[in-house]
Amino acid sequence: MTRQILNKSVKVDGIDIFYREAGDPRNPALLLLHGFPTSSIMFKNLMTALADRYYLVAPDFPGFGFSAFPDKSSFAYTFENIAACIDKLTDAIGMRRFSVFLHDYGCPIGLRICVRHPEKIATLIFQNGNTYDEGMGPEWDPYKDYWAHPTPEKKAKLTGFLSEEGVRTQYTSGLPEALLPAVSPELWMIDWDLMKRPGNIEMQWELNCDYASNVRMFPVFQEYFRAHQPPALVIWGRYDVFFAIEEVDCYQRDLPDVETHLVDGGHWALETNFDEVLSLMENFLSANTGR
């Protein structure tokens, strides 16, 4: 069995979508959905580790990573549109049933696919991906205020995360000193290099503002959990400064058989706690997919 990662692209509604692929398509499939501000690069180590038993696909969203960055006059950068694009990608490459890894922005994108096509979903793996109001801690209050009552003055105070330093601290904020060496610097450097393309920073701001649509979808996602009871694994880095730890216990309301784990890491647990996350995923997937 090969552990080779292949780098491919496919046109979805005329847009070139880049994706990384590993493993045998005859094996249980896993769709890996990245968050802000990164791309499928965050999954390279995980794909190598699992490719002998699973078929793994990690796409870059439009405007992220190595996917095309179409002008917003031809593609509206909303979570709904990105989800529709990734949904079509799974059809285009023949993914009929799969587990989903849901991280950060990838969580509401992936759950939109789940709501549309519950028959496609084998299991859910949440890694610091928000689905409940409790996960939106007080750090989100200024953004909620802007979404409801936008002004140029408020925007000027909130856009610091769309800078070189802001992208770097996406990976390091909240982490104890001892965990910082586990974070690979090329990740944030590649993220920033791609983000500073003309027009991308403004696109990222508009997409961040559309996060309000995800909050409105929380009840829909929770109803999907209750109605379909997908096997679910929740892995949460306790030092996450973006999504509150109170989120973790919420899943048991709607998924009584959910498996939850707090790890001594942050928002990017695949960087800081790779061995632990890998072991939890292997055990969960083996129990629920037979591999």
The residues annotated with a catalytic role in the active site are: 267
CB 5 within 8 A of CB 16: no
**Tokens linked to 101:** 């890894």
**Interacting residues of 211 by C-beta distance below 8 A, sequence separation 6+:** 79, 108, 143, 147
Rounded to whole angstroms, the Cα distance separating 95 from 105 reads 21
Instruction: Output the DSSP codes for 10-34.
Output: EEETTEEEEEEEES-TTSPEEEEE-
